[in-house]
Amino acid sequence: MRILLIEDDNLIGDGIKIGLEKNGFTVDWFDNGADGEEALFQVPYAAVILDLGLPQIDGLTVLKHWRDKGKKEPVLILTAQGDVDSRILGLNKGADDYLGKPFSLKEVVARLNALIRRQNGFATAELKYKDVTFNPDTKQVYKSGKLIDLSPREVALLELLILNKNRVLSKNVIEEKLYSWDDEVQSNAVEVHVHHLRKKLGKDIVKTVNKLGYMMED
């Protein structure tokens, strides 16, 4: 899933980006509020990690602008450990969760997965579709109880399709949600990933909707 990270501390930002990418996320990182705010209007991100003390435009102002303009992406705010007032203010202005510094990467991953699940109407930790079960925290995929070996991109596509069950996703939307601006995307990348999912999880796991895109349909 593609995440927007807005953090001006290079050490923290680099650590989060590398850590999330190792856990299967795609991350676009901005170090100021102005560029970060604009990014959310350009790409359909699954979630946002937002620091409050940002140059150019502070995090709370960025958050307010997003909510005022109807942006509904889940936002995880990063705050100083004892800054309770900022946490409360952030939640009141539309944040979905907060995390105090310092924090563990495992907790960042767990909170992001929870936000993304709830945003898409899933209350439980595991995502299920027919006889396929996917755990976002461990990235493990099971078919009829058997562990299936998928590549990171195949896992990301599977998660995306399950979260958007019964919705047709175009090739362009899939690319936008799985790849960052820094990635070089081959023209047939999505088709290749879909082919591999069908080979490993069954030919009917993904439905092709002619000239529109792909979907998982009940």
Mean pLDDT check: name the lowest of 20-24, 62-66, 124-128, 209-213: 124-128
Tell me the C-alpha to C-alpha distance, in Å, between residue 67 and each of 45, 83, 96. Answer: 15, 22, 12
**Number of C-beta neighbours around residue 127 at 10 A:** 22
Structure confidence at residue 82 (pLDDT): 60
Q: Which residues pair with 148 in a beta bridge?
A: 141
pLDDT score of 81: 56
193 has pLDDT over 60:
yes
Q: How far apart are CA 48 and CA 31, in angstroms?
A: 13
Give the pLDDT confidence of 139-180 residue by residue, as tens digits. Answer: 899 999 999 999 999 999 999 999 999 999 999 999 999 988
pLDDT single digits (tens) 204-214:
999 999 889 99
Higher pLDDT, 87 or 6: 6
pLDDT of residue 201: 96
| H helices, E strands: number in the chain | 8, 11
pLDDT the model gives residue 169: 95
For the chain, where do the domains classified as CATH 3.40.50.2300 start and end? 2-119
Return d(Cα 141, Cα 182) in angstroms, integer: 27
Cβ neighbours, 10 Å, residue 8: 17
Whole-Å CA distances, 17 to 7, 48, 75, 164, 177: 10, 12, 16, 25, 16
CATH topology of domain 2-119: Rossmann fold (3.40.50)
How far from 190 is each of 17, 25, 157, 173, 194, CA to CA, in Å? Answer: 24, 17, 9, 10, 6
CATH of the domain spanning 127-215: 1.10.10.10
pLDDT digits (tens, 9 = 90+) for 29-51: 999 999 999 999 999 899 999 99
For 54-103, write each residue's pLDDT tens digit: 999 999 999 999 999 999 999 999 887 567 787 788 888 899 999 888 89
The neighbouring-strand residues paired with 76 are 49, 97
Q: Kindly state the average pLDDT of the residues 97-116.
A: 91
- Cβ neighbours of residue 111 closer than 8 Å, sequence gap 6 or more: 76, 97, 99
Helical segments of the chain, H only: 10-22, 33-39, 59-68, 84-92, 105-119, 152-163, 171-178, 189-201
Q: Check residue 79 and give its pLDDT.
A: 83
> What number of residues does the chain have?
218
- C-beta of residue 6 within 8 angstroms of C-beta of residue 54: yes
